[in-house]
Amino acid sequence: MLPKITVTLGTRPEIIKMAPVIRELENRRADFFVLHTGQHYSYNMDGVFFEQLKLPQPRHNIQAGSGFHAEQTAKILVGAASIFQQEKPEIVLVEGDTNSVLACALAAAKLHIKVGHIEAGLRSYDRTMPEEINRILADHCSDYLFAPTEKAKTILLGEGIPKEKVFVTGNTIVDAVYQNRQLAEEQSRILAKLQLSPQKYFLVTLHRQENVDSPARFGSILTALEKVTAEFRMPLIYPIHPHSRKRLNELVLSGVEGLNLAVPKLTLIEPLDFLDFLQLESNARLVLTDSGGVQEETCILGVPCVTLRDNTERPETVEVGASIVAGTSPDKILEAARIMLNKKKGWQNPFGDGKAAQRIVDIITGGSDG
Ligand code: UD1
Ligand code: UDP
């Protein structure tokens, strides 16, 4: 008998990174259903990915929505526990490090349901990040820890997690990129729509709480972008996350000293669907980002990246030469952009071979079909 599996997800990156796992479960006719926490709910952060990646509709949606961490996490915890009690899955899968991940993992563990954590073992060693707390706690209440790399496995073993629970599978983002890169190339019209030529623009994404909730840090990064666009004379395209849009509006209203928001060539656009984003990312001359998924994707796609953070839980990107962790100071960001633009490409992708989902489903189903 195959186990009954719940695939949980709640935010844009979880939908994208769970998509290959869902596809694999469908192919094997496994007994599974999708539980959406409702942490992301705007069409361009949620529904568009279900449509484009042809995912089955969630059987349940907790509709937790936005709120303070405690409020959002608590709503998901209560909602997930009630659904798990009703549905009685044997395995609950979570992916990544969001509040949805922590709450679903905890709800399942307390009900003695086995938890599989995809993307286990990442550490920034910065406990002020909500994601660091979420991933540590999720790892430590999981039964199956799917580490994307050997480095992540070593971290888990170093924290005392028994080796029988840890599996190096690669990251499912590689599967998602391999499955959609060609489609993006064929179907996306985003370059024409934005009147861009390949290699003639930079792409920016920025949404981390520690960056955009601090007017000083957000202001400093915007100043850096101004310097970057002035030096390289390249347009900067920024598909802006709704959280950052809100904070940017507040910055504009409060008027931070020394900040020039009229950055020429900085084009703010709405968040993109996955194929448009992949196409824009693949053809960018340089990407500047604080996103975890975008650090990985640029590394996989061979696009140079400047990481707009003080640390990273994806050090593999730096080790292979795909990225520099630049912090938020304008001069450091400018210097990192110069270095990355002059760097030889052709590094190895450290995140796997695109078969992570197959391995994960093999492990939780004992390798059999439904
Ligand atoms: C969350 C995750 C973060 C992840 C990111 C992916 C946590 C603590 N943070 O951050 O790790 O990198 O998702 O994108 O789990 N909003 C909308 N529409 C939506 C969702 C959010 O407008 O569909 C706005 C709301 O104003 C909300 C704000 O964005 O208050 C923040 O949303 P939230 O889910 O709390 O955190 P993210 O910044 O999206
Ligand atoms: N992404 C997207 N449209 C956008 C920006 C990002 O589809 O406008 C995708 C991107 O390809 C990556 C994922 O969203 O797979 C990253 O999500 P995000 O940056 O929100 O979260 P993080 O990875 O930092 O948790």
**Per-residue pLDDT reduced to its tens digit, 223-258:** 999 999 999 999 999 999 999 999 999 887 776 655
> Does the beta carbon of 111 sit less than 6 angstroms from any atom of ligand 1?
no
Q: Is the pTM of this model over 0.75?
A: yes
- Pull the structure tokens for residue 280: 């824009």
CA 353-40-215 angle, to 5 degrees, is 100
Which residue ranges does the chain devote to CATH 3.40.50.2000? Answer: 5-171+352-364, 186-342
> Does the beta carbon of 12 sit less than 6 angstroms from any atom of ligand 2?
yes
Q: How far is the CA of 66 from the centre of ligand 1 (A)?
A: 7
Predicted local distance difference test score (pLDDT) of residue 254:
73
101 CA closest ligand 1 atom index: 15
Q: How far is the CA of 262 from the centre of ligand 1 (A)?
A: 26
Predicted local distance difference test score (pLDDT) of residue 264:
60
Predicted local distance difference test score (pLDDT) of residue 256:
61
Q: What CA–CA distance (Å, rounded) separates 32 from 353?
A: 25
271 CA closest ligand 2 atom index: 8
Q: Which ligand is nearest to the CA of 301?
A: 2
> Does the beta carbon of 240 sit less than 6 angstroms from any atom of ligand 2?
no
pLDDT tens by residue, 285-326:
999 999 999 999 999 999 999 999 999 999 999 999 999 999
pLDDT tens by residue, 110-125:
999 999 999 999 999 9
Q: Which ligand is nearest to the CA of 38?
A: 1
131 CA closest ligand 2 atom index: 25
272 CA closest ligand 2 atom index: 8
Predicted local distance difference test score (pLDDT) of residue 144:
98
pLDDT tens by residue, 14-50:
999 999 999 999 999 999 999 999 999 999 999 999 9
> Does the beta carbon of 175 sit less than 6 angstroms from any atom of ligand 2?
no
Cβ atoms of residues 114 and 91 within 8 Å: yes
pLDDT tens by residue, 55-75:
999 999 999 999 999 999 999
Q: How far is the CA of 229 from the centre of ligand 2 (A)?
A: 23
The proportion of the chain whose per-residue pLDDT surpasses 90, expressed as a percent, equals 92
Cβ atoms of residues 83 and 89 within 8 Å: no
> Does the beta carbon of 294 sit less than 6 angstroms from any atom of ligand 2?
yes
pLDDT tens by residue, 170-198:
999 999 999 999 999 999 999 999 999 99
Which residue's C-alpha comes closest to atom 28 of ligand 1?
Answer: 243
Q: Which ligand is nearest to the CA of 239?
A: 2
> Does the beta carbon of 292 sit less than 6 angstroms from any atom of ligand 2?
yes
Residues with Cβ within 8 Å of residue 187, at least 6 apart in sequence: 275
Predicted local distance difference test score (pLDDT) of residue 369:
58
Predicted local distance difference test score (pLDDT) of residue 126:
97
> Does the beta carbon of 16 sit less than 6 angstroms from any atom of ligand 2?
yes
Sheet holding 236-239, edge to edge: 266-269, 236-239, 202-205, 286-289, 305-307, 323-325
293 CA closest ligand 2 atom index: 23
Residue 276, pLDDT > 80, answer yes
Across the range 80-97, mean pLDDT stands at 98
Q: What CATH architecture applies to the domain 5-171+352-364?
A: 3-Layer(aba) Sandwich (3.40)
Which residue's C-alpha comes closest to atom 7 of ligand 1?
Answer: 98
Question: 140, 207, 241, 243: which is the annotated catalytic residue?
Answer: 207
DSSP 50-96: HHHTTPPPPSEE----S--HHHHHHHHHHHHHHHHHHH--SEEEEES
Q: Verify whether residue 207 is a known catalytic residue.
A: yes
Pick the CATH number of 186-342 from 3.40.50.150, 3.30.1330.10, 3.50.50.60, 3.40.50.2000: 3.40.50.2000
Q: How far is the CA of 243 from the centre of ligand 1 (A)?
A: 6
Q: What mean pLDDT, rounded, does the chain reach?
A: 96
The alpha carbon torsion through 2, 352, 271, 46 (nearest 10 deg) reads 0
Predicted local distance difference test score (pLDDT) of residue 257:
58
> Does the beta carbon of 205 sit less than 6 angstroms from any atom of ligand 2?
yes
Which one of 66, 135, 211 would you pick to mutate in the ligand 1 pocket, going by the greatest count of ligand atoms within 8 A of its CB? 66
Q: Provide the pLDDT confidence category of residue 208 given band limits of 50, 70 and 90.
A: very high
Q: Provide the pLDDT confidence category of residue 2 given band limits of 50, 70 and 90.
A: confident
Predicted local distance difference test score (pLDDT) of residue 109:
98
> Does the beta carbon of 66 sit less than 6 angstroms from any atom of ligand 1?
yes
Predicted local distance difference test score (pLDDT) of residue 367:
74
Which residue's C-alpha comes closest to atom 7 of ligand 2?
Answer: 274
Predicted local distance difference test score (pLDDT) of residue 1:
76
Cβ atoms of residues 291 and 204 within 8 Å: no
Q: Provide the pLDDT confidence category of residue 266 given band limits of 50, 70 and 90.
A: confident
Residues with Cβ within 8 Å of residue 281, at least 6 apart in sequence: 203, 287, 294, 297, 298, 301, 303
